[in-house]
A and B are shown apart, each in its own frame.
Chain A
Amino acid sequence: MTRLLVRPEIGSLVGGFAIMVFFLAVAPSFRNLDNIGTILYQASTIGMMAVPIAMLMIGGEFDLSAGVLVTTAGLAAALLGWWFNLNVWAAVGLALLVTLAVGLVNGLLLVRTKLPSFLTTLSTFFVLQGMNLGLTRWVTGNVSTHQIADMQGSESARRVFASQFALQVAGHSITLRITLLFWLLLTMLGAWIMLRTRQGNWVLAVGGDEDAARASGVPVRRTKVALYLFVAFCAWLSGMHLLFGYGVVQSGEGIGKEFIYIIAAVIGGCLMNGGFGSVVGASVGALIYGMTQLGINYAGWNPDWFKTFLGVMLLASTLLNVWLKRKAEQR
């Protein structure tokens, strides 16, 4: 029992279950089986980023540039592909390089300058925000990208990054999108790294006590840079989905998303000062966020109050997490 309670995701699992029961009770269309696909899609787009952000937070760092980096990834593929008339897959590859480069810069800035990551990634956040707008306008003369749907390779890229299929369950048709698969794979990968590998222990050690970790031979710098690269990789995957799922990318988007990823991680049991948390918990946090956002919609409530509800929920889940942790430590 104690071992179960000390798991960081337990609070979010309890909370997620409570939210689900709550909306099942108050929102009739929440009970409709057809809607599962929409809720899971909403959760998956957040969860795909909440996984690497949770790992980064367990490692004791933040990434405020993660939201706009998703937009940057989509823009990079669309702009480079259009400008150089590339096969779409080449553009997708270049976009991966661009995104990883930003992750590398984030990581190196942190370990070289020794400034808080809140500050270094805030700087990248602004730089990217400006570049997203500036470069898009420079290339297209407009604020959104050109269509690349008619270019070679675009059809297969759409199948890889943005396909969907309908599942027939008991006479209901549930539309599942490929982001759900990405999300599950990333969650499993992240959980496996954290629980089963030496590198996962490094992340925990680095987030818990950096100096102690260094003293016991953990490659602190390499671990942190790797975490930022993982964030960048997931941002690239999310960006590719947005590009091929919606045809174009608007250069001003993504701002504010970084907090949603952090919120999902915190609801999932990650502590703000590192060293504690879980990847599975963060994914449950993303599910809670998606359920709440659409649950309010399905219940037909005024969405003006969504943020208030979210704030109360954030506080409640954090208090529950802290309480469970303390309870478990007492025994």
Chain B
Amino acid sequence: MKSHLVTTAIAVAALLLGTGCSATGGRAAAEKSASAGGCTSTTMTVTMITHSAPGDDFWDLVRKGAEDAAKKDCIALEYQASPEGAEQANLVNAAVDKKVDGIAVTLSKPEQMSSAVKSAVKAGIPVTAINGGVDVWQGLGVQGFFGQEDKVAGQKTGEKLKADGAKKVLCILHEQGNVGNESRCAGVKQVMPTTENLYVTGTDIADVQTKVTAKLQQDKQIDTVLGLKAAVALTAVKSVKEAGSSARIATFDTNAELVKAIQDGSVAFAVDQQPYLQGYLAVDALWLYKTNGNSIGGGTATLTGPAFVDKSNVDAIATYAAAGKR
């Protein structure tokens, strides 16, 4: 009796494994779509050091771009991050110790990073800067800069909102103490002086939702809610509904969910700084510099944003977003 049960169980399991496989999606599809690398040996070692907090979706896109460039160029890429300025600087020191062939680094805390970056340059290691530090990178001997100017992006966003007929903007800052957040909202406020700032805890979705809802209930004048990252904007969609407000929602930065939200009209547009491109270019530039002496941007900053994603062009990037690269 017992052996019958075992035989039956094995038979059923085999049947499920044989016929129960999904022909679409899952790991199989993901592995199939990933391109097979053709590297036989590595050309160089590059370390990317950002100020990202662990598990941030924006920085995941930067990292993917860097990894794809590394794969294409046969680079051994190491990714490091620390949100603490002093620690991030020490990670640069460690990379210099390791005598890597190139360093890509964010300069969002330029003062704290400058001496470590200078010592890397002094040690003959080419450095590229991404995302933050558009004003300072040239003085540090850095090879190139890839990112957007947060204040300019804020101004352009303000102009677009004004043209769309916005009267009062609520700018949601998801990280207290983040210089980039401040500059974006300040840029918007320069164009639209009625803009009001709201601080929320970006890592706590419930906190974002309740604070935005409360603000919308209290101030009926607000007709536009501006998030500074995709996850916040998506939460704001719920807040607007809950508060019975008719405010339009716009945001900085995209992810796969947000692209869908633009398609279905719940979010008006996104200011795209193309994080994937930042990571990709920063690594590729180091490779081009090493193998061909090139410098992308030729000594000036290469701006990756602000590009606007709205209903008119969203379909074009939707497929890439689904692959987790936009």
B93-A300 in contact (CB<8A): no
A32-B97 in contact (CB<8A): yes
Q: Counting CB contacts under 8 A, is A45 at the interface? A: yes
In Å, the complex CA distance between A257 and B85 comes to 13
B175 partner residues in chain A, CB cutoff 8 A: 252
With A246-B85, A248-B112, A300-B76: A143-B177 Cβ-Cβ less than 8 Å: yes
A247-B112 in contact (CB<8A): yes
In Å, the complex CA distance between A245 and B87 comes to 12
In Å, the complex CA distance between A247 and B111 comes to 6
Interface residues on B, range: 20 to 34
Pick from A38, A144, A250: contact of B94, CB below 8 A: A38
B99 partner residues in chain A, CB cutoff 8 A: 29
Q: Can you list, as one digit per residue, whether each of B169-183 has a CB less than 8 Å from chain A (1) or not (0)?
A: 000000111110010
In Å, the complex CA distance between A233 and B22 comes to 63
Q: Counting CB contacts under 8 A, is B323 at the interface? A: no
A250-B109 in contact (CB<8A): yes
In Å, the complex CA distance between A294 and B90 comes to 9
Q: Counting CB contacts under 8 A, is B98 at the interface? A: yes
Q: Counting CB contacts under 8 A, is A251 at the interface? A: yes
In Å, the complex CA distance between A38 and B89 comes to 11
B177-A304 in contact (CB<8A): no
In Å, the complex CA distance between A251 and B109 comes to 12
A242-B97 in contact (CB<8A): no
Tell me the count of chain A residues lying within 8 A, CB to CB, of chain B. 32
| Chain B residue with the shortest CB-CB distance to A245 | B86
Pick from A29, A45, A304: contact of B86, CB below 8 A: A45
Where chain A touches its partner, the secondary structure class is: helix
In Å, the complex CA distance between A41 and B86 comes to 11
With A45-B86, A246-B86, A247-B111: A252-B178 Cβ-Cβ less than 8 Å: yes
Q: Counting CB contacts under 8 A, is B54 at the interface? A: yes
B86-A248 in contact (CB<8A): no
Q: Counting CB contacts under 8 A, is B310 at the interface? A: no
B97-A38 in contact (CB<8A): yes
B178-A143 in contact (CB<8A): yes
A248-B111 in contact (CB<8A): yes
B179-A247 in contact (CB<8A): no
User: Smallest distance from the beta carbon of A42 to chain B beta carbons, Å?
Assistant: 6
Within B53-104, the residues touching A (CB, 8 Å) are 54, 76, 78-81, 83-87, 89-91, 93-95, 97-99
User: Smallest distance from the beta carbon of A303 to chain B beta carbons, Å?
Assistant: 6
With A142-B182, A247-B111: A303-B177 Cβ-Cβ less than 8 Å: no
User: Smallest distance from the beta carbon of B106 to chain A beta carbons, Å?
Assistant: 14
B210 partner residues in chain A, CB cutoff 8 A: none
B87 partner residues in chain A, CB cutoff 8 A: 42
Within B241-297, the residues touching A (CB, 8 Å) are none
User: Smallest distance from the beta carbon of A304 to chain B beta carbons, Å?
Assistant: 7
With A34-B97, A45-B86, A142-B182: A246-B112 Cβ-Cβ less than 8 Å: yes
A297-B94 in contact (CB<8A): yes
A143-B97 in contact (CB<8A): no
B54-A304 in contact (CB<8A): yes
In Å, the complex CA distance between A143 and B109 comes to 11
A-B contact pairs, 17 of them (CB 8 A): A35-B98, A41-B90, A41-B93, A42-B87, A144-B109, A246-B89, A246-B111, A247-B111, A247-B112, A252-B178, A253-B85, A297-B80, A297-B91, A297-B95, A300-B76, A303-B80, A303-B81
| Residues of chain B having any CB pair with chain A under 8 Å | 54, 76, 78-81, 83-87, 89-91, 93-95, 97-99, 109, 111-112, 114-115, 175-179, 182
A143-B177, A246-B86, A252-B177 given. 18 additional CB < 8 A pairs? A38-B93, A38-B94, A45-B86, A142-B182, A143-B178, A143-B182, A144-B109, A144-B179, A245-B86, A247-B114, A252-B176, A253-B84, A254-B84, A297-B80, A297-B98, A300-B78, A302-B79, A303-B80
* Nearest 10 Cβ contacts at the A-B interface: A252-B177, A247-B111, A246-B112, A35-B97, A29-B98, A248-B111, A143-B177, A38-B93, A251-B177, A297-B94
